[in-house]
């Protein structure tokens, strides 16, 4: 049976965790990029909602238009809720990964 010398043993013990830490760091950065993109999508939804709110202030707004705008607000709210939930889940996941490295 062959035995590894001390340097070989240290190489085996420490090289892979360092590589793993680098990979986890890259994963965390990719996750941060996704979070930034999700915030961008929330911004778009908020701007769309603001545009609908402006249209809804028209003096010529009919009840049907008001109903349609309200439905669009509901859809935008659901979209923002989904995006914000995804952001929270990703942040919680990144925090757990950062604690283990």
At 15-47, the pLDDT tens digits run 555 555 555 577 888 899 999 999 999 999 999
At 54-75, the pLDDT tens digits run 999 999 999 999 999 999 999 9
What's the confidence (pLDDT) of residue 16? 52
Cβ atoms of 46 and 80 within 8 Å: the answer is yes
Nearest to 45 by CA among 68, 88, 74, 87: 74
Residues composing the chain = 101
Which residues in 10-89 belong to E strands, given as ranges? none
CA distance 73 to 15: 53
What's the confidence (pLDDT) of residue 93? 77
pLDDT band at residue 100 using 50, 70 and 90 as cut-offs:
very low
What's the confidence (pLDDT) of residue 61? 95
């Amino acid at each position: 049976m062959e035995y590894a010398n001390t340097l070989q043993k240290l190489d085996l013990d420490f090289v892979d965790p360092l590589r793993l830490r680098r990979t986890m760091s890259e994963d965390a950065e990719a996750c941060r990029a996704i979070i930034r993109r999700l915030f961008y999508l929330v911004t778009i939804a908020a701007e769309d909602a603001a545009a609908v709110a402006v249209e809804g202030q028209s003096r010529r707004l009919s009840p049907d238009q008001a109903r349609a705008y309200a439905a669009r607000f509901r859809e935008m709210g659901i979209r923002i809720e989904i995006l914000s939930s995804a952001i929270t889940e990703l942040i919680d996941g990144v925090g757990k990964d950062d604690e283990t490295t």
